[in-house]
Amino acid sequence: MVEIRHQYATVRGHRVFYREAGAREAPTLVLLHGFPTSSRMFRHLIPALADRFHVIAPDHLGFGNSDAPPADAFTYTFDSLTDITEALLAQLGVTRYAVYVQDYGAPIGWRLALRTPDAITAVITQSGNAYEDGFVPDFWAPLWAYGENPGPRTEPAVRTALSLDAIRWQYLHGVERPELVDPDTWAADHHEVGRPGNDLVQLALFRDYANNRPLYPRVHAYFRERRVPLLAVWGAGDEIFGPDGARAFARDLPDAEIHLVPGGGHFLLESHLDTVAGYIRGFLTVAASRHEVREESQSG
The per-residue DSSP string of 232-287 comes to EEEETT-SSB-HHHHHTHHHH-TT-EEEEETT--SSTHHHHHHHHHHHHHHHHHHH
Confirm if 60 and 81 have CB atoms less than 8 A apart.
yes
Single out the residue of 76, 126, 168 nearest to residue 283, CA to CA: 126
266 assigned to active site: yes
DSSP state of 4: E
H helix runs in the chain, sequence order:
45-49, 78-91, 105-115, 137-148, 155-159, 164-172, 184-193, 198-209, 216-226, 243-247, 249-252, 269-299
Strand order in the sheet with 4-11: 4-11, 14-21, 54-58, 28-32, 97-101, 120-125, 230-235, 257-261
What is the maximal distance between C-alpha atoms in the chain? 62
Out of 60, 266, 272, 291, the active site residue is 266
Catalytic residues: 266
